[in-house]
Structure 1
Amino acid sequence: MPLVFREAGFRFHFYSSEGDPREPVHVHIARPGGDAKLWLYPEVRVAYNRRLTPRELRIVEEIVTRRRQEIEDEWNAFFSGSDQR
């Protein structure tokens, strides 16, 4: 489970197997007792949410929007095979 970064008490990560064919660029967010998945394009939006509060969702949406390019760069590096951590 490649870690992208941690911020505000949340873990932002991918799964090393993201479907076949691979799903579009997205990021998983987790904290103890809850998790969510956000699509990055065409706009940042929630794919699913399990037990994150509306406030927490707003926070992670803001973080993903602000750091979208970094997340996409990590995704591309990992799934291109050049950065298999």
Structure 2
Amino acid sequence: MPTVLRWGPYRAFFYSNEGSEPAHVHVRSGDMEAKFWLHDLSMAVNAGFPLHEIGGIIRHLRSHRDELLGAWNDHFRN
């Protein structure tokens, strides 16, 4: 479960057993977690984040999308 980005209370990471899925990142803060597809930064799953917080998370992920895609490709050897 490599962490690829940290900011404020958030940690963006991959689950190592999910390489067969399209590129995505999980974001966790406390006991909340959400999954975002990297091709369009749409939210796939939300477990606990209030909706008003999701927009800020997506904006931050968008500003680091190239870095996140590079980390995905490096980790899963794509």
TM class by shorter chain equals over 0.9
Q: Which has the higher contact order (CA 8 A, sep 6+)?
A: 2
Unaligned runs of 5+ in 2: none
Measure, in 1, the Cα distance between the counterparts of 2:22 and 2:56: 22
- Bigger-Rg structure (1/2): 1
User: What TM-score does the superposition give when structure 1 sets the normalisation length?
Assistant: 0.86
1:4 equivalenced with 2:4 (yes/no):
yes
Percent of aligned pairs with the same residue? 35
| Residue correspondence of structure 1 range 1-85 to structure 2 within 5 A | 1-18=1-18, 22-41=20-39, 43-80=40-77
Secondary structure at the counterpart of residue 75 of structure 1: helix
Unaligned runs of 5+ in 1: none
Q: How much is the aligned-residue C-alpha RMSD, in angstroms?
A: 1.3
User: What TM-score does the superposition give when structure 2 sets the normalisation length?
Assistant: 0.93
The Cα of 1:7 is off from its aligned counterpart by 0.8
